[in-house]
Structure 1
């Protein structure tokens, strides 16, 4: 499925939890998927909420999202490609708000250079070193669809099982996406990945467009040649279904219709069904949107055991990489002025409040960078969950989550840490610590001993 990095094979790492009689092991000779990164979105005018902050608060927010010393060090930004004629209700503006009259008529593009604040956000991300920009369309403009509305579902005119008196709009929508990519390129932001569907199994009252896998293949057979003819090597992503089971069905239909070869990345959200088994594909897989949408805001790491708390999301991220072999994990909203729990950072007036979910993701995104390879890690103790990654510079990051409660603290002895590392650097997150740098632990003959408190997560970073 993935080509291993041509790095020297490292010696096997073995770990033992002496107090509980459990065994933790990391084996750098067993290599799995390559990581593309971790990220978030500021779509639907959320980027403008950051822009409107006072300068100090704005910088604090950006540092929490992108900094490798102050925050999460995210490496992917997901932008929304607008389809709405205006920005009412925080909708995303279309670059072609007026129907040109027919699919073959010259388009009437309108570009404000801001794109709902996302151009500014992308430029800030680029300053921090972000290189992966994923632009995704929730819908085509309404006049290109069966329901003549960019909201409330409907289908792109011209795909199978549709009939529109206005004609076949597949090529016009492909041209629309190419124009969007060129506008960003002219703004100094090369979009690396593009998607044309968002939750196509859902009919909703905001921008939405329905499709099954076979219908997605119909459009891909127009989009990909159009991209290449325009000189764009942009990676194509499909199909961002509401959940893992739903995307599995769409993927099967896509494969049966001959569309998989036109896709560079298979994508899904985690809402309706959580990431579970790997998809049956040789393409990299991204989890491109997931959040806690049901609860009121909480910044807690571990308080009431609810699904919006940080330790829950630490487990979600880890399980998604280990069980589903994803190459990227993208949360829904990075920062937002709201009272719900859908964002990683709450903007409240001039205040900026990071959540336990942010630090849960930071335990991975700060230390696992694009190009890293997941390596084998396992635990015989059910409350201790592990993952491990080797970065392109040879750094190994080991994540251990202790899901046990008081009385289950684990003393961990990790043996065989090969290479020239003399120390391992632990970083702790729990109810009292947010990615706190702990005292370095000495490595002797490839061995070191550390301690993981209950209801906590530690990332151990070994450098050659």
Structure 2
């Protein structure tokens, strides 16, 4: 195997190699030392969602554009993502932008059997999308509910917040609906199972700290634990291997508060995954948990921006910004997985990585190429993040991951206005080093970060902004 260096510019550079390099001598520029003997968290992957019927938008593209979108998202032609987050519906109907429930009509009582219907339009084309994604190498389906059905909640609607009837500090004339909600989630997973799709994780909350005009349900940590105590045995009784994910808080601090409540209730062991978004509070520290942690939704909402680096108003949605966001998530917060919001959508802001216009036009953003440097072309299942330290420059952000085959991917982000001659040490470059560059002129272009051997490592020129 060779070393691989991915550079995102400013530049994001990536390299791949075996540990324990012979000694070479470097440049006068910054030095990156990789230590594969110092391992941190396991890598689970990157991903997106097409909830709220964006799977339908992809499905309606002509064949060439449809394949282009799917390949850009899920193959090494693009982002190489391996996780798909589907929306578990709660609406009574399904005009565009809503996700219909599989139990839209209230039963006679909270203890009556739910009135299940088949997956509406094959779950708003999420079944079709799941098959397409899996055929391109996606290995994890995460199903998440934004809310319980309205008749199960304190406010009688699946929108505008409200709480699940039966959890702490709720009082509903219709009684406790926790078991009914758990039964609905189990049926949804079974419906996917019948389609040959395994749902690995299931969530029952989305941004439970918020009250929104669209599907939403509020919950604190104690209330989340109240439902987990019902959902967990219900999944087990049904013989499902699906694990519970919680709680998709709107930001890192908001989710930490809910995780703490679950821990204090003694129910952390029932979780398979801790999930949070990056909106209200950026990922900036590790959670105090032994469970794997994913950032499961994050985007920006400013006007349409395709740039890698715009140097202007689009900076928060620039590709270079998202390269740094993903770096911080893995290197600072020790997360195991990163999911953007929509992968492709007919939107006029930056909620998606790919913009769709009509049935044929597809435009790619710099944000997609930032994700590609952290995708499966370089980091694969079972990889671990390893130590990577930088000396000689504060402009570089560096992450490194060792794969199970002994290869190592190193992502180098140059946030300066200067091309930097960077020496990479600590790896075995006996078979050479491969490089990939993304900046305003290159989209994951192989070989454009010039590499040569020095006396203490390999030297790569990482371009400026």
When normalised by structure 1's length, the TM-score is: 0.92
Separation (CA, whole Å) in 2 of partners of 1:232 and 1:410 = 52
Q: 1:75 aligned to 70, 76, 82, which one?
A: 82
Cα separation, partners in 2 of 1:325 and 1:117, compared to 1, 3 Å? same
Shift in Å, 1:88: 2.7
Q: 1:307 aligned to 298, 305, 316, which one?
A: 316
Cα separation, partners in 2 of 1:203 and 1:398, compared to 1, 3 Å? same
Asked whether the 8 Å contact 1:50–1:335 carries over to 2, the reply is yes
Deviation sequence 1:327-367 (CA, Å, 0-9, x none): 00000000001111110000012111110000001111131
Q: 2:328 aligned to 313, 319, 335, which one?
A: 319
Does residue 199 of structure 1 match 2:210? no
Asked whether the 8 Å contact 2:26–2:458 carries over to 1, the reply is no
Separation (CA, whole Å) in 2 of partners of 1:55 and 1:446 = 50
Shift in Å, 1:443: 6.1
Separation (CA, whole Å) in 2 of partners of 1:227 and 1:113 = 25
Asked whether the 8 Å contact 1:12–1:416 carries over to 2, the reply is yes
Equivalent residue of 1:90, what SS?
coil
Separation (CA, whole Å) in 1 of partners of 2:87 and 2:328 = 27
Q: How does 1:2-401 map to 2 (within 5 A)?
A: 10-11=19-20, 18-20=27-29, 22-68=30-76, 70-111=77-118, 112=120, 114-293=122-301, 295-305=302-312, 306-349=315-358, 350-365=360-375, 366-380=377-391, 381-401=393-413
| Runs (5+) with no aligned partner, structure 2 | 1-17
Equivalent residue of 2:192, what SS?
helix
Asked whether the 8 Å contact 2:25–2:454 carries over to 1, the reply is no
Cα separation, partners in 2 of 1:72 and 1:102, compared to 1, 3 Å? same
Bigger Cα displacement from structure 2, 436-445 vs 353-362: 436-445
Shift in Å, 1:423: 1.6
Match of 2:424 in 1: 414
Asked whether the 8 Å contact 2:27–2:459 carries over to 1, the reply is no
Over the residues paired in the alignment, what is the CA RMSD in angstroms?
A: 1.8
Asked whether the 8 Å contact 1:378–1:386 carries over to 2, the reply is yes
Separation (CA, whole Å) in 2 of partners of 1:30 and 1:183 = 43
Shift in Å, 1:445: 8.9
Separation (CA, whole Å) in 2 of partners of 1:314 and 1:221 = 38
Separation (CA, whole Å) in 1 of partners of 2:107 and 2:146 = 21
Equivalent residue of 1:114, what SS?
helix
Equivalent residue of 2:216, what SS?
coil
Q: 2:457 aligned to 447, 451, 458, which one?
A: 447
| Runs (5+) with no aligned partner, structure 1 | 1-8, 456-464
Shift in Å, 1:248: 1.2
Shift in Å, 1:15: 9.8
Asked whether the 8 Å contact 2:109–2:174 carries over to 1, the reply is yes
Asked whether the 8 Å contact 1:15–1:414 carries over to 2, the reply is no
Shift in Å, 1:100: 1.0
Asked whether the 8 Å contact 1:12–1:27 carries over to 2, the reply is no
Equivalent residue of 2:186, what SS?
helix
Equivalent residue of 2:374, what SS?
helix
Shift in Å, 1:442: 6.3
Equivalent residue of 1:32, what SS?
strand
Shift in Å, 1:450: 1.5
Separation (CA, whole Å) in 1 of partners of 2:233 and 2:149 = 21
Runs of 4+ in structure 1 over 4 Å off:
12-17, 439-446
Bigger Cα displacement from structure 2, 52-61 vs 366-375: 366-375
Equivalent residue of 2:332, what SS?
helix
Bigger Cα displacement from structure 2, 315-324 vs 389-398: 389-398
Asked whether the 8 Å contact 2:26–2:459 carries over to 1, the reply is no
Equivalent residue of 1:25, what SS?
strand
